Amino acid sequence: MTLQLDTDGVAAGIRFLPSPNCDERPAGAALELLVVHNISLPPGEFGGDGIIDLFMNRLDPSAHPYYATIAQLRVSAHFLVRRDGELIQFVPCAKRAWHAGESAWRGRSRCNDFSVGVELEGADDQPFADIQYAELAPLITALQSAYGALEIVGHSDIAPARKTDPGPCFDWQRLRRLIGK
């Protein structure tokens, strides 16, 4: 599948669920970084609507004990790659998604200002599905075609004191092979 992004950075042909958890990028902020994350809600469980509900501010705190601890968060990512390979977009790439939190890369703080966030439905201690790599690679190719050579890092690289994702089960070498790097 060849993805195409419009001038706002919305991919054609995939589900787009506009998250309210975004804002304008600072003037002159160019996209330079792609941050790979993992997420599962409830933790370690896959396939439900928890991630979507979190990014859309409709997570029911009574639906699971863990949800009560995070329902107040206002977070998002540009893209989510589900375990079954479905690719969902929440924020146009031209806007700033709220995925990185307190972060820094190569001496620059506020990574949300200059990055695209891609969540993989997964957990640090479980291998990712083959189809997720098969969907992530063309997404990265489309983003780099639209925005130039983005540096690709994990959430743990930009927030090492706080985050561990995408975790040791993420196969960086496999991803590099798939994108020809």
Q: Please list the active-site residues.
A: 119
62's CB contacts (< 8 A; 6+ apart) are: 68
DSSP track, the chain = ----B-TT-PBTTSEE---SSEEEPPTTPPP-EEEEEEE-SSTT--SSSHHHHHHTT---TTSSTTHHHHTT-----SEEE-TT--EEE-S-TTEEES-S-S-EETTEE-GGGGEEEEEEE--TTSPPPHHHHHHHHHHHHHHHHHH---EEEEHHHHSTTT--TT-TTS-HHHHHHHHT-
